[in-house]
């Protein structure tokens, strides 16, 4: 039983040979943005996957990270869920800042407007 518990123990210290956390945040934020763009523009799953893989490779190259290095680092976070949670808190903050900057550069308010209500109480008006 001790062996099973030992396998589940999580290491809070990140091994030296992995992508640094700050760089991993930027990579994953970039990947999520690309993924969202592809999901809204590509209808066919096979085409979307090919486009995503190509864009992910471009992102890794732009950050100077090898595919295997990225995979090893991501696997580390998958094996250390509390660390993954902390990483994604920073990623969400990063994406929020990017969205606010994008809205500001487009002249939009930093927070999206509330949906307008139609005559039915509590039901937002549908935009067509």
pTM greater than 0.75:
no
* Predicted local confidence at residue 110, as pLDDT: 60
Q: Which of 11, 29, 39 is nearest to 95 (CA)?
A: 29
Give pLDDT tens digits for 72-103.
Answer: 999 999 999 999 999 999 999 999 999 999 88
Question: What DSSP string runs through 89-101?
Answer: HHHHHHHHHHHHH
Give pLDDT < 50 ranges for the chain.
1-9, 115-128
In this structure, what token pair is assigned to residue 75?
């696997």
User: Who contacts 117 (Cβ-Cβ below 8 Å, separation ≥6)?
Assistant: 123, 124, 125
**Domain-by-domain residue ranges, the chain?**
18-104
Question: What DSSP string runs through 59-78?
Answer: HHHHTT--HHHHHHHHHHHH
What's the CA gap between 94 and 105, in Å, rounded? Answer: 17
């Amino acid at each position: 039983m001790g062996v099973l518990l030992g396998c589940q123990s999580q290491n809070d210290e990140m091994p030296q040979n992995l992508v640094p956390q700050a760089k991993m945040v930027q990579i994953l934020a970039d990947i999520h943005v690309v993924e969202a763009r592809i999901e809204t523009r590509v209808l066919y799953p096979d085409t979307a996957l090919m486009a995503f893989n190509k864009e992910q490779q471009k992102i890794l190259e732009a950050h100077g990270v090898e595919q295997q290095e990225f995979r090893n680092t991501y696997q580390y976070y998958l094996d250390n869920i509390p660390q993954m949670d902390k990483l994604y808190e920073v990623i969400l903050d990063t994406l929020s800042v990017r969205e606010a900057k994008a809205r500001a550069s487009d002249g939009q308010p930093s927070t999206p407007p509330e949906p307008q209500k139609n005559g039915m109480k509590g039901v937002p008006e549908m935009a067509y």
